[in-house]
């Protein structure tokens, strides 16, 4: 399972609020059909296929341009574990379980 955290930042916007751009990027992820979770600082994505994951990131990046940004900076952090299948929820559950000990 491949997990990624992306942060997409439109640069040079007229307002400090970025939620319209985030909404456009998330809508693109919906169209791509990947699992994702939005947080206040970025978006987590998971996929079983690297090509699918990169395609989704590209679609989200391009969606911010389509929303009107003239410059976009996208950061991607990837965790590609191949020895076991672990979803994002399973990773979080594992940490919570250990905290309860």
**Domain ranges (residues) in the chain:** 2-99
pTM of structure: 0.89
Residue 6 near residue 47, CB atoms below 8 Å: no
For the domain spanning 2-99, the CATH number is: 3.30.70.930
Residue-wise pLDDT for 59-80, tens only, equals 999 999 999 999 999 999 999 9
For every one of its 101 residues, what pLDDT tens digit does the chain have, with 9 covering 90 and above?
899 999 999 999 988 999 999 999 999 999 999 999 999 999 999 999 999 999 999 999 999 999 999 999 999 999 998 898 888 888 889 999 999 98
The DSSP bridge partners found for residue 45 are 4, 36
């Amino acid at each position: 399972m491949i997990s990624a955290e992306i942060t997409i930042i439109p640069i040079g916007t007229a307002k400090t609020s970025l939620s319209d751009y985030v909404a456009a990027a998330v809508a693109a992820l919906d169209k791509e059909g990947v699992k994702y979770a939005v947080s206040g600082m970025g978006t987590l994505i998971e996929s079983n296929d690297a090509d699918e994951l990169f395609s989704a990131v590209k679609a989200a990046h391009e969606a911010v341009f389509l929303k009107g940004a003239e410059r976009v900076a996208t950061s991607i952090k990837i965790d590609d574990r191949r020895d076991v299948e672990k979803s994002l929820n399973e990773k979080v559950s594992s940490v919570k379980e250990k905290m309860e000990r």
